[in-house]
Amino acid sequence: MPNQPSGADQPSIPILYLNGQLVPADRAYVPALDHGLLFGHGLFETMRAYQGKVFRLDDHLARLLHAAEELGIFLSGEWDTLERAIHATLEANHLRDARVRLTVTAGPGSGLPIFPNTGQPTILISVTPVSQEIAARTAAGYTAVIAPRLRSSQAALVHLKSTSYLENLLARAEAVRRGADEALLLNDHRCIAEGAMSNVFFVIAGKLRTPSRDCGLLRGITRQVVMDLAQALSMDMEAGCLMVEDTMQASEAFLTSSVLEVMPLIAIEGRSIGAGRPGEITRLLAKAYTQVVTRELGQTIRTV
């Protein structure tokens, strides 16, 4: 079944969930002293809803709530509220196939740089239609550049989906400026860590290889699904340090994220990977990923 087009009955102004209420986006306000705004003290999750159900919702909520605890954002007991709020937001926007963003911040406070903040967290949910372009790009593949600045594998936020996302945005902007889709970030040891908004995998000498946790990356939920699939398919797999030179031996590569799913990567810095088109193992894993989504959500989803 093809991706649902964004329905004509969608409200002209998107409806957001903000702190317990569904509000049109042009009337949704966050206090000026919100510590998310002032200090980037916040977290988010980007999820994918298929036919009204969010894939791996439990994993996303678990990651968010765990990280919230680490960042002194007090959300305990909010699991059910968040789950209900996500579905209510999808319904309010008449969207079933959507990108779902859940943002939590430390909330309004004194405005002074004090940790933790004592205010009530701000909870915001927005949903947007999934760009039809992604399916077309999955058929053709993405290209990437190497981000010009190194990132520290030890940085406090590197494993969190923090609202302090500007480094990622800047890296992606550089990629776009240079005519590519994604930027690969190198860490302080010059190992590839991840994409600016994705995790990355390579096929080198028949083995599936991906940066390990200690490279400094977000442990993507899609990355984990793909690693589990590779194991179930008895693929030879290794997580570790990969340098740009190593990727020159790659016959295939792909990016993963909840929204991109399994996106073939066909060139880095203008140099083709393998034959310069989506590879067999990539296609196999992309198909297997779609099957997992279908099985778990109990519906027919498009195949890649």
Ligand X SMILES: Cc1ncc(COP(=O)(O)O)c(C=O)c1O
Position 283, amino acid: R
Among 199, 210, 282, 290, binds ligand X (CB under 6 A): 199
Token pair, residue 208, equals 């599936």
Instruction: Report the residue from 221, 242, 263, 301 that binds ligand X according to the rule CB under 6 A.
Output: 221
Tokens linked to 100? 């779902």
Give strand ranges (E) for the chain.
Answer: 15-18, 21-24, 42-50, 53-54, 98-105, 122-129, 142-146, 182-186, 192-195, 199-204, 207-211, 237-240, 250-257, 261-268, 271-272
Scan residues 26-55 and list those touching ligand X (CB under 6 A).
46
Q: Which stretch binds ligand X (CB under 6 A): 87-95, 140-148, 196-204, 287-295?
A: 196-204
Radius of gyration of the chain (CA): 19
- Looking at the Cβ atoms of 92 and 268, the one nearer to ligand X is 268
- Cβ proximity to ligand X, 114 vs 150, nearer residue: 150
For position 6 contacting ligand X by CB under 6 A, the verdict is: no
Is the CB of 108 or the CB of 216 nearer to ligand X?
A: 216
Query: Residue 123 or 260: which CB sits closer to ligand X?
Result: 260
* Counts for the chain of helices (H) and strands (E), in that order: 8, 15
Quote the least distance from Cβ 254 to ligand X, whole Å: 12
Q: Determine the size of the site formed for ligand X (CB under 6 A).
A: 14
Phi, psi of 8 (to 5 degrees): -70, -20
Assign 244 to helix, strand or coil. Answer: helix
Task: Tell me, residue by residue from 232 to 271, as one string, x for binding to ligand X by CB under 6 A and - for no binding.
Answer: ------------------------xxx-------------
Residue 291: count of CB within 10 angstroms of its CB: 13
Quote the least distance from Cβ 178 to ligand X, whole Å: 19
Q: Of 194, 216, 229, 285, which one interacts with ligand X (CB under 6 A)? A: 194
Phi, psi for residue 145 in degrees, rounded to 5 = -120, 170
- Please give the Cα distance from 218 to 284 (Å, whole number): 24
Q: Which of 65, 183, 197, 281 binds ligand X (CB under 6 A)?
A: 197
User: Could you give the angle at the alpha carbon of 286 between the alpha carbons of 150 and 268, nearest 5°?
Assistant: 35
218 sits near ligand X (criterion: CB under 6 A): yes
Instruction: Quote the least distance from Cβ 182 to ligand X, whole Å.
Output: 10
Contact range with ligand X by CB under 6 A, out of 99-107, 194-202, 207-215, 296-304: 194-202
Among residues 36, 75, 223, 304, which is the contact residue for ligand X, using CB under 6 A? Answer: 223
Query: Using the rule CB under 6 A, is 126 a contact of ligand X?
Result: no
Q: Are 164 and 180 in contact (CB under 8 A)?
A: no
End-to-end Cα separation, the chain, in angstroms: 11
The one among 103, 153, 168, 290 contacting ligand X by CB under 6 A: 168
Ranges within 70-109 binding ligand X (CB under 6 A): none
Q: Which residues contribute to the site for ligand X (CB under 6 A)?
A: 46, 168, 194, 197-199, 218, 220-223, 256-258
